[in-house]
């Protein structure tokens, strides 16, 4: 039945406190959502066209700027795809450092999401306290990224062949101490947070929603854990046969084996950590747990760094080739695919973003939700519209 034929109340929300501009269109009946559409007029940004014909080094730094939140994720995924095409393998120090930077970026992103979600989940009288505590931890995490990656955003030390440098012994010892303190500080924060939550938390705990999950690794990403060829890209307008007559930018969705799949914190933990919270609150709980696990893993990896050993493979032979990288960005599966021509320049580039997977999940998760809580559902999935619009089918 076409949505326009149903006797439903139409509600259009301009979503606030998300990364980018979104209109969330809902059709409701008896105070519950029957159908939802995740729409945006955010312009198509065409990063695949920007890098075409360019040197791979330019491509790496350009593609890192797809997003100001998951910057390191794009930088690492791009570097790995180019290395795969060129036949380059970074040394262990470089691989450890990339995983560290990716996890610091994950914590940054998760904490920024918590800042945006505080009005949704925290009792009003306690919001100022929780906000200050969250920002304190976030600022310390930004400082760690600056010391390890060269900048708190778009870390310049990520490069083809590994990373440009690792800290000296004195700085490394201090960073390890800081990460240990942050880990303990966050553990206390998480315990306190549970006593500050409101009725939205209580409601989401009662709503069961467990779609198919897609994850490749708990911390880093593994292209051999999934089949990239089974990812299907489809225009949003082709996915919905009951799309209302509205103006929007027809961006791209991603399916896996023709299925709608959830990627991100809950998917990773469900597949690699025996996590089984199938309520909608389970997604936010997974995000909180991932921060704790990430600090622990960062600490372990920092202690594995071998001072004096190389962190970058510096010999780079420009040649033709194809490469692919699968990385676990904060919001889930991120795929970069590259084709290099005979001169080693970019011939073709494909980017598959986590939000491409999450948009149909968000729409499905909102069905049968009480209208007063409906706005929280897309926000709890933390969609990133700048990423979502970086690449689209034409």
- How high is the pLDDT of residue 394? 66
Count CB neighbours of 310 within 10 A: 15
CA 190 to CA 187: how far, in whole Å? 5
* 354, 263 contact by CB (below 8 A): yes
Positive or negative: CA dihedral 186, 70, 101, 286: positive
Q: Which of 74, 28, 72 is nearest to 47 (CA)?
A: 74
* 141, 104 contact by CB (below 8 A): yes
At 189 the three-state DSSP class reads helix
Mean pLDDT of the chain: 95
Class of domain 3-388: mainly alpha
Burial class, 233, CB count within 10 angstroms (exposed 0-12 / middle 13-18 / buried 19+): middle
> Could you tell me where the DSSP H helices lie in 122-259?
127-149, 169-193, 199-206, 236-239
Q: Note the pLDDT tens digit of each residue in 268-302.
A: 999 999 999 999 999 999 999 999 999 999 999 99
CA 286 to CA 24: how far, in whole Å? 24
Q: What is the pTM of this model?
A: 0.95
Q: Note the pLDDT tens digit of each residue in 83-140.
A: 999 999 999 999 999 999 999 999 999 999 999 999 999 999 999 999 999 999 999 9
CA 248 to CA 162: how far, in whole Å? 40
Q: Residue 44 — pLDDT band, cuts 50, 70, 90?
A: confident
Percent of residues in the chain assigned helix, strand, coil, to nearest 5:
50, 20, 35
> What are the boundaries of each domain within the chain?
3-388
**Considering all CA atoms of the chain, what is the largest pairwise distance in Å, rounded to the nearest integer?**
70
Phi, psi (5° rounding) for residue 48? -65, -35
* 14, 38 contact by CB (below 8 A): no
């Amino acid at each position: 039945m076409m949505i326009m034929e149903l006797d439903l109340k139409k509600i259009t929300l301009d979503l606030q406190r998300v990364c980018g501009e979104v209109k969330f269109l809902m059709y409701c009946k008896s105070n519950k959502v029957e159908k939802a559409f995740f729409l945006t007029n955010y312009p198509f940004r065409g990063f695949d066209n920007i890098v075409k014909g360019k040197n791979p080094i330019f491509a790496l730094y350009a593609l890192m700027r797809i997003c100001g939140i998951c910057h390191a994720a794009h930088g690492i995924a791009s570097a790995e795809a180019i290395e795969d095409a060129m036949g380059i393998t970074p040394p262990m120090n470089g691989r450890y450092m990339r995983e560290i930077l990716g996890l610091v970026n994950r914590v940054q992103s998760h904490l920024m999401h918590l800042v945006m979600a505080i009005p949704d989940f925290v009792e009003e009288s306690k919001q100022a306290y929780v906000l200050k505590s969250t920002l304190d931890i976030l600022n310390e995490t930004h400082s760690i990224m600056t010391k390890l990656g060269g900048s708190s955003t778009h870390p310049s030390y990520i490069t083809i062949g590994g990373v440009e440098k690792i800290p000296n012994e004195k700085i490394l010892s201090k960073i390890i101490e800081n990460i240990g303190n942050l880990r303990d500080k966050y553990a206390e924060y998480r315990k306190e947070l549970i006593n500050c939550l409101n009725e939205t938390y209580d409601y989401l705990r009662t709503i069961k929603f467990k779609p198919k999950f897609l994850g490749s690794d708990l911390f880093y990403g593994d292209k051999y854990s999934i089949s990239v060829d089974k990812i299907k890209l489809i225009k949003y307008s082709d996915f919905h046969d009951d799309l209302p007559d509205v103006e929007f930018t027809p961006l791209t969705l991603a399916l896996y084996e023709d299925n709608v799949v959830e990627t991100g914190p809950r998917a990773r933990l469900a597949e690699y950590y025996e996590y089984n919270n199938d309520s909608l609150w389970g997604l936010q709980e997974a995000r909180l747990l991932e921060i704790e696990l990430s600090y622990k893993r960062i600490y372990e990896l920092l202690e594995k760094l071998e001072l004096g050993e190389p962190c970058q493979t510096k010999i780079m032979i420009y040649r033709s080739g194809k490469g692919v990288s699968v990385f676990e960005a904060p919001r889930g599966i991120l795929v970069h695919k590259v084709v290099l021509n005979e001169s080693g320049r970019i011939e073709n580039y494909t980017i598959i973003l986590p939000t491409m997977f999450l948009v149909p999940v968000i729409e499905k998760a909102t069905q049968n939700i009480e209208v007063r809580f409906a706005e929280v559902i897309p926000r709890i999935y933390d969609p990133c519209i700048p990423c979502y619009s970086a690449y689209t089918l034409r």
